[in-house]
Amino acid sequence: MDVGHSTGRKLFLIANNVFLFLVALSCLLPFIHIMAVSFSSPAASTAGEVKLWPVEFTWKAYEYVIDKKEYLQSLAVSFKRVVLGTTINMLLTVLTAYPLSKTLRAFPMRTVFAWFFVFTILFGGGLIPWYIVIKYTGLMNSLWALVLPGAVQVYSIIILLNFFRQLPKELEESAFLDGAGHMNVLLRIYIPLSGPALATLLLFSIVDHWNAWFDGLILMNTPANYPLQSYMQTIVVNMSSLFLNTTNSEMLKEINDRTVKAAQILIGALPVLLAYPFLQRHFIKGIVLGSVKE
């Protein structure tokens, strides 16, 4: 037992604690810094005085953002997208995973259909044909364009079908004997038993829809239809000033590009940052579920 308490071991433990603490800080400090910038005065932010605490505290950047019509519009689009997209994702995942979880004996076509879906993981048409198909199907510039092309989440289906297969078979067997149909078995037995797995998939679907921006950027013709992250893309990427046409010098004393951008970044990250500590158990479960199956 002495091995565990040698000086070398003690030194290692101290160094290890410090090292991991620094790694964790590197993941945390950028967010704190951005928060500090967003609450600081423009003068302080440009002078590089802001570190981890606001300098010359002000709410003005947030007031400016909240008042912006485009920002609220895109926020509304994002909410709609998350609600509609997640609902469709979950419905399709459950409906598709159930038949595919059946044994070959119960459902002889299972493997054919499973490969039909899995093949789309291996091979794809790529950006341009995808874009053109969406155009041809008339979804351009509508909320459906953000929801339907990615409606079938093959990875989620695989995770759920593997989960379904581990469920005890006795319950459904007796239900079938009592004359229950597949829909009944799915609703009354499978879904109630799959709470944790479904919660995790739901969470990932929400985060994916909230974070998606590229599709919105190229599939929406007018910025008025951008979801929040697509709208933010135009701000983050755009190097020109938000205030080029402003003659209001009073306003420029209170906010500048940097503080406004910081405020927008923080609001865009806020839902995930707020939900994360409470739901992190599910986040972990999702990652482990997705990669390591028994």
Residues within window 36-65 making contact with another protein, judged by CB under 8 A: 37, 46, 48, 50-51
Q: Residue 268, exposed/middle/buried by CB under 10 A (0-12, 13-18, 19+)?
A: buried
CB of 144 to another protein, least distance (A): 11
Cα 134 to chain centroid, rounded: 22
Question: Would you say 102 and 161 are in contact if contact means Cβ atoms under 8 Å apart?
Answer: no
> DSSP readout, 270-294?
HHHHHHHHHHHHHHHHHHHHHH---
264-293 footprint of another protein as x/- string (CB under 8 A): xx--xx--xx--xx--x--xx--xx--xx-
Q: Nearest-CA neighbor of 204 among 95, 122, 82? A: 82
Q: Does 148 bind another protein (CB under 8 A)?
A: yes
Token pair for 248: 């209001």
Nearer to another protein, 79 or 131 (CB): 131
Binds another protein (CB under 8 A): choice among 87, 103, 137, 248: 137
Angle at 232 between CA 28 and CA 207, to 5 degrees: 60
3-state secondary structure of 105: coil
Q: Does 112 bind another protein (CB under 8 A)?
A: no
CB of 122 to another protein, least distance (A): 5
CB of 174 to another protein, least distance (A): 18
Q: Does 213 bind another protein (CB under 8 A)?
A: yes
Nearer to another protein, 26 or 247 (CB): 26
Binds another protein (CB under 8 A): choice among 55, 140, 143, 218: 218
